[in-house]
Amino acid sequence: MDSQNKSNKPQIEKNHSFWQSWQHAWSGLKTVVKEERNMQTHLVLGAVALLAGWYFQLTTSEWLWLCLAIFMVMLCEINNTIAENICDLVTGPHYHPLAKKVKDIAAGAVVFAAAFAVLVGLILFVPKIWQFVLTR
């Protein structure tokens, strides 16, 4: 019974093990995927890009570029979510121009990473798609 009550209490002390840290990190990833529509979109588009990479049999270096682009977008989206949540925590329901600035900059980082991902996708896939079209 005590262990059930203990798990319902918020943790206020440091993590005691790697496993405990891992559980918190996994919980954070699940939260961002569940609550952020843009992260869900990035996951779907990333999966489509990975399937295209598999279909077109990318080389090792091409896989590295593709994975870098996908992970950069997702990392920026996670950081954007962090910035939004911290701003909302600090400002509550009130508007503050600095909170808007932070949120806009974090969103800009996502757009910047997404533009990089699109560029990588074009460089990797346009020649392969063009070759596929020509051989049909």
CA distance 15 to 74: 26
Reply yes or no on whether 13 is catalytic.
Answer: no
DSSP state letters, 24-75: HHHHHHHHHHHH-HHHHHHHHHHHHHHHHHHHTT--HHHHHHHHHHHHHHHH
CA dihedral sign of residues 98, 103, 106, 112: negative
Whether residue 73 contacts residue 42, with contact meaning beta carbons closer than 8 Å, is answered with yes
Higher pLDDT, 57 or 136: 57
The stretch 101-111 carries a mean pLDDT of 98
Given the residues 35, 62, 77, 84, the one annotated as active site: 77
Is residue 88 classed as helix, strand or coil in its secondary structure?
Answer: helix
Q: The whole model's pTM is what?
A: 0.86
Give the pLDDT confidence of 41-75 residue by residue, as tens digits. 999 999 999 999 999 999 999 999 999 999 999 99
